[in-house]
Chain A
């Protein structure tokens, strides 16, 4: 699998570490009334779609940036790659 890094161009997926669903970027508020329940859902529950998924990849053996890769879990086809930083700054992490 080749991940088209926004800054470095096409890189082998073996250079990256996989974390999981991109919704992990949006951590619940610990002062929230239902914080315990929200953290349970955040930490343990997953949509686990058979199809397109936005997911977090870390370029450990490269520039150490976090990427959001949109990938189809049934075909492994990658449709978009963004810097997680850009997505977070634009406030559309979810």
Chain B
């Protein structure tokens, strides 16, 4: 396991780049671990890394049904932002932003975090008022936010439709300059490598088929590669949270929905930022390879299919054209869908469950990617100390029963509307 540096690039170049070591090991599962994390996506791997680095718990396994970083970690639009206004969310996502800002140095792996800024467009005076309120709440919490009027938005984003024929007139925008994008694969690979260097076993192609129990307590997992005992079992499995919890006899406030995203053919640099449309659910950025990355809304019905339907393709592309008429002749190059664990109030869970020994990290809706570092940080804290981290204290399962929903959008207990 070598440290990546300018020197290591130079040294390996001299030997024709034939002697780079493997980035992580491929170990056989040991019979027992202190902590077993189910799901080797960004969140699971980050949790394992912080468990080892921050809490000194190195006897950890991350087990994965497929291959690491093969699920939602690579099925998103890679946007990172911290513009939340509900107590419970605000400081959590800001913690995540601060971890992102130093992540490449911390894990010695370039995650290509690019703070190119994010605009949330407003299309009515009412939306401008809401944006002003959100911006004030962010600034009161020490998070950067700026409100721009129409002229300033037009100066900065000249390629949007400002004509009298625009379907939704642009009144202004709220802007977070520290927001941006990161390279999704690198996040999974970087955390995997960093966790592996801390002694964490990453065990791929190992599906959980049940739990080991001692009375009411869960003491490990049954897998396709044999039983693995564990002091604590932590779930971090996104859209599949529901049935892994069901195996433990839990019903959760979660529905699984499908969300699509698209990449166009490559263009010369055009969109040097992230733009969210305020009139429909649509957001766009440009990848380093030049393709426009387009994201839309949920298909709207429960699905585990990892593929979406045509109505949402049409909705997303119609939104793109309404906002940026110049893209109308672009061809789509790729199209994918991921399955989201949509919670009842649109906010996540990092929590103990009612089953002893079983912990839950889920319900991320479509805020999962930006949350990766803080989710790992706070989940590791919970697994190590058995008490929630200050910044994730509201992400408990009992908040709904207490009536303490964190409903950023204010739509109530209807997962497909969040």
How many residues on B have C-beta within 8 angstroms of the other chain's C-beta atoms? 25
When the two chains form their complex, are residues A48 and B413 in contact, meaning their CB atoms are under 8 A apart?
Answer: no
A57 vs chain B, min Cβ distance (A): 8
Count A interface residues, CB 8 Å.
24
Of the candidates B256, B311, B414, the one whose C-beta lies within 8 Å of that of A73 is: B256
Cross-chain contact B311 with A75 (CB below 8 angstroms) = no
Q: How many A-B pairs fall under 8 Å by CB?
A: 69
Q: Do B305 and A13 touch across chains, with their CB atoms under 8 A apart?
A: no
Interface centre among B243, B246, B256, B304 (most CB of A within 10 A): B304
A18 CA / B242 CA spacing, docked (Å)? 20
Scan B42-70; emit 1 where CB is below 8 A from any A CB, else 0: 00000000000000000000000000000
Cα distance A45–B251 in the bound complex, in angstroms: 6
- B309 CB contact (under 8 Å) in A1, A20, A41, A50: A1
Main secondary structure of the interface of A (DSSP, over half): mixed
Task: Determine chain B's interface SS by DSSP, over half rule.
Answer: mixed
Cβ-defined contact, B401 with A48, below 8 A: no
* A32 at interface, CB cutoff 8 A: no
B302 near A44 with CB under 8 A, answer: no
**Given A44-B344, A48-B242, A50-B243, A73 and B252 touching (CB < 8 A)?**
no
8 Å CB contact of A75 from B242, B305, B400: B305
Please measure, in the bound complex, the distance between the C-alpha atom of A46 and the C-alpha atom of B252, giving whole angstroms.
6
B257 to chain A, nearest CB (A): 10
Instruction: Report chain B residues within 8 Å CB of A46.
Output: 242, 251-255
Q: Mark A17-33, 1 if CB is under 8 A from B, else 0.
A: 01110000000000000
Tell me whether B416 is interfacial, beta carbon within 8 Å.
Answer: yes
Nearest A-chain residue to B308, judged by Cβ: A76
A70, CB-defined interface residue at 8 Å? no
Cα distance A19–B413 when bound, in Å?
11
Contacts A18-B416, A40-B400 hold; do A48 and B254 have CB atoms under 8 A apart? Answer: yes
CB within 8 Å of A: which of B287-315? Answer: 300-305, 309, 311
B416: chain A residues within 8 A (beta carbon): 18, 20
Which A-B residue pairs are the 7 nearest by beta carbons?
A48-B242, A44-B253, A45-B251, A14-B311, A50-B304, A18-B301, A44-B400
